[in-house]
Amino acid sequence: MSVVQVVMRTEHVQKQNSLNNEIALLEARYIKSQHVVASRIASLDGYNTTAPKVFVSREQASLVFGSI
């Protein structure tokens, strides 16, 4: 590869990383907005939250045994 190709490839990789970062930030904002809208819609129907959501908890260690 020539020096020009290496420079162009480096610039391309940097631009790709920047775009991936921007996409991730936009996805995070979108998900946050979805949660806000969903909670507003749920509150219109009279639902309300009583406890915080816990999707994954590591409070207690446990072992998982698989069958052979």
How is residue 31 written in tokens? Answer: 């998900």
* Cα–Cα dist 31/7, whole Å: 36
**In terms of pTM, does the model score above 0.85?**
no
Which DSSP string corresponds to 4-25? HHHHHHHHHHHHHHHHHHHHHH
Helix or strand or coil: residue 34?
helix
Residues 37-49: what's their mean pLDDT? 81
pLDDT tier at 39 (50, 70, 90 boundaries)?
confident
Q: Which pLDDT does position 54 carry in this prediction? A: 67
**pLDDT tens digits for range 8-33:** 999 999 999 999 999 999 999 999 99
